Amino acid sequence: MALISTYSQDIEISWQRCYGGSEDDVVHDIVHIEDGYFITGGTASYDGDISFNHGHSDFWLIRTDSTGDILWEKTYGGSSGDFCSKILSSHDNSYYLLGNSMSSDGNISYDPYPGSNDIWIVKIDSLGNILWDKIIGGEIIDVIESGISTIDGGVVIFGWTGSQNGDVSINYGMYDMWLVKLNSDGDIEWDKSFGTDDFDFGNTIIQTSDRGFLVGGTSTIGNGGNLTCVPHNINSEAILLKLDSLGNIEWQNCFGGSEHDGIFGLLEIIDGYIILAYTDSNDGDVTGHHGQSDIWIIKVDLWGNIIWQKCYGGSGNEYATNIFPSDNNGYVIFGETDSNDGDVSDNHSSSEFDSDIWMLTISDTGELLYQKCIGGTRSEDLYFGVVKKNDYDYVIAGITEYGPSYDVHCTTHGGFGDEDFWLFELKDCAYYAPATPDTPCGADTACSAGGAGTVYTVAPAQNAWSYTWQLLPETAGTINGDSTAATVNWAENYEGTAVITVRSQNDCGQSEWSEPKYTQVQTCLGTEETPAETTVLRVYPNPAKDYVVFEFDAKSPTEVKIYDAFGREVSCLPVAQKKTVWLTKNMRSGLYYYKTEINGKALSGKVVVRD
């Protein structure tokens, strides 16, 4: 019940931005930095938000504030095609941009393998300035799919290669998984290939708690090489390798059925690993398959043996590359879907060829707890662009083809079907709703003469970003403030009861108004505690708590009348001697007025009663 309660959520987009130009702009990754985000991918545009393009396509890096406004942007590349797949933070406030390049000029300082598709690593500082760059690979094709920064300030690159020379120490045939370790200066320390004489692709890597690595990919597992697990069929298998800190194989395992299967994400847990895979199969290791391609979650022990597995999806295609642990021992997954049946509902896409970003949460045994489709009428896609702030708050860097439409509220830059970066924050607004503030604190009484100002404060409310203050009636004056303090400037000569309330707001909305604070307002003109020179009346203590003494030095009046701030009579005190006492212990705190008459002359004044 706790799990279900946690995920019967009010997930909403709290803010969003679209970035791009008139051509395709494809985002792949995002990292959270101080007061904002770095977002990266590739751009083919020369206009819009893109200030410069070196050639066919460039790495594109955007620096935003915490709500997605662009602070600056930069492109990196040469005259041919360049595309950034990953951004990694390093320990010295620097960052690694990992991608592929066909260029040999522009920002590429040296290309030992011109004319081929190589892996390009660019190390930048926090302002986007290049510290160094390096081309690695060989003379055929080399592709980066994933990577991690290491505790020594270096970086590990994982992908695949078809090269048999250059930086590739060994190739077992066709394409191999390729793992490369570089130090913080960009020097290659070692590289490892994993494969057979067939097609072997590396997709994802994590560093494990023993300082080794866990890598996943897909392989048709042919002959020879160092992949020895037994496949289920001639089609591609999901393959998992546990490596030591130098990239040597400790164990390996294959998962799948008679169709194509592969691994896109990995997560280390206390008693094993969670594998984020895809599957087209419904046999072998796979049960519960829905349609064409499903998201496939496998829990394995520390040696790669299956503990449980589940499929998620509908009759179309689903895949995911992002998985996060949740505080209730479950998991949150982000991917995409073009289905609108099975586990999938409320897909916004206008056709079966378009997709939505898909969020799903599962329990620690794989039970589907919650799902949500996010998108518009055309395709929205997602690669690695998810930042988890906490269980109730994620920032997503995805791709949209058209907006505004449904969840896509920003306007895209290109023509219909051209791709833009789409950045948005996804919050559980049931959890993040701004709390209603307490009753404001401030004066019980005030004087309006001269438009005097009075300050009111309120204790900070949970989840509040700002505050709206209200003064009623409007004729009482004006109130100014958007924080926990506000100032009322009273209207000249206003008299009466003023009501001050406040409410809080954040990007999820606004709270209810607080309980009111009442202030009794008078002009404070012409009321004296000791009347004119012939007057012989003293009133004390003032302010009062339990009692007020009216003391007369001359002929006493017959009575003293007491009125509240609304002009209602609350007491009439007969005067039989020089001192008359008004008991105020049970009176409401606030401003009161007394009136009496001596020798035909009216006397009046004010008394403040406090708790």
Q: What is the CATH number of the domain that holds 548?
A: 2.60.40.3080
How many CB atoms are located within 10 Å of the residue 439 CB? 15
pLDDT in tens, 347-402: 999 898 899 999 999 999 999 999 999 999 999 999 999 999 999 999 999 999 99
The HSE-up count of residue 451 (CA atoms within 13 Å, CB side) is 5
Instruction: Indicate which CATH number applies to the domain containing 474.
Output: 2.60.40.10
Write the DSSP symbol of residue 583.
Answer: E
Mean model confidence pLDDT for the chain: 92
Is the pLDDT reported for residue 473 higher than 60? yes
Sheet with 547-552: list strands edge to edge.
537-540, 547-552, 579-583
pLDDT grade, residue 2 (50/70/90)?
very low
Q: Is residue 450 pLDDT above 80, yes or no?
A: no
User: What's the pLDDT at 7?
Assistant: 45
> How would residue 576 be classed by pLDDT, with cut points 50, 70 and 90?
confident
What pLDDT is recorded for position 605? 83
Residue pair 252/265 in contact (Cβ under 8 Å)? The answer is no
Give the largest CA-CA distance in the chain. 122
159 and 95 in one domain? yes
| pLDDT recorded at residue 525 | 58
Number of domains within the chain? 3
State mean pLDDT over 142-153.
95
Give the lowest-confidence range in 283-297, 501-515, 545-559, 569-583.
545-559
**Chosen domain end from 466, 487, 522:** 522
595, part of any domain: yes
pLDDT at residue 67 is higher than 80: yes
- Find the mean pLDDT for residues 510-518: 96
At residue 312, the pLDDT reads 98
Neighbours of 35 (CB within 10 A): 9
Q: How many other CB atoms are there within 10 angstroms of residue 206's CB atom?
A: 17
Residues 354, 489 within the same domain: no
Looking at the structure, tell me whether residues 315 and 462 fall in a common domain: no
Tell me: pLDDT of 554 over 80. Answer: no
Q: In which band, very low, low, confident or very high, does the pLDDT at 532 lie, cut at 50, 70 and 90?
A: very low
Q: Residue 35's domain is classified under what CATH number?
A: 2.130.10.10
Query: Are 516 and 546 within one domain?
Result: no
- Contacts of residue 296, defined as CB under 8 A and 6 or more positions apart, other chains included, come to 238, 261, 275, 277, 278, 279, 286, 309, 310, 311, 312
| pLDDT higher than threshold 60 for residue 295 | yes
Token pair for residue 251? Answer: 């164990």
Per-residue pLDDT at 556: 67
Phi, psi of 89 (to 5 degrees): -85, 145
Residue 581: count of CB within 10 angstroms of its CB:
12
Q: Which of 369, 391, 413 is the last residue of a domain?
A: 391
In a domain, residue 135? The reply is yes
pLDDT at 142 over 50: yes
Domain match, 262 and 325 both: yes
Same domain, 504 and 557: no
State residue 424's pLDDT score. Answer: 98
Q: 162 and 260: one domain?
A: yes
- Would you state the pLDDT for residue 523? 78
What length does the chain have? Answer: 611
Q: What percent of the chain has pLDDT over 70?
A: 96
In a domain, 294, yes or no: yes
Within-domain flag for 17: no
Task: Give a yes or no: residue 5 inside a domain.
Answer: no
Is there a single domain that holds both residue 481 and residue 549? no
3-class DSSP assignment, residue 238: strand
Q: How many whole angstroms separate alpha carbon 364 and alpha carbon 361? A: 10
Does residue 557 sit within a domain?
yes
Give me the percent of the chain exceeding a pLDDT of 90. 77
Query: Are 261 and 328 within one domain?
Result: yes
pTM above 0.75, yes or no: yes
Q: If we measure between CA atoms, which residue out of 36, 63, 41 comes closest to residue 128?
A: 63
Which residues span the domain enclosing 551?
Answer: 537-609
pLDDT tens, residue by residue, 23-52? 999 999 999 999 999 999 999 999 999 999
End position of a domain, from candidates 522, 545, 570: 522
Rounded Cα distance between 59 and 484, Å, is 44
**Closest listed residue to residue 486, CA positions, set 513, 453, 448, 509:** 453
85 belongs to a structural domain: yes
Mean per-residue pLDDT, 278-297: 97
User: What token pair was written down for 515?
Assistant: 């309980």
Cis peptide before 473 (omega within 30 of 0): yes
Check whether 526 has a pLDDT greater than 70: no
Residue 156 pLDDT more than 50? Answer: yes
For residues 147-175, average pLDDT: 96
Task: Give yes or no: residues 369 and 479 share one domain.
Answer: no
Residues 496 and 453 in one domain: yes
182-229: per-residue pLDDT in tens? 999 999 999 999 999 999 999 999 999 999 999 999 999 999 999 999
Mean pLDDT of 414-420: 86
Residues 560 and 506 in one domain: no
- pLDDT of 8 > 60? The answer is no
Alpha carbon distance 192, 188 (integer Å): 11
Report yes or no: 595 and 563 within 8 Å, Cβ to Cβ.
Answer: yes
The stretch 5-15 carries a mean pLDDT of 71
Q: Is residue 437 part of a domain?
A: no
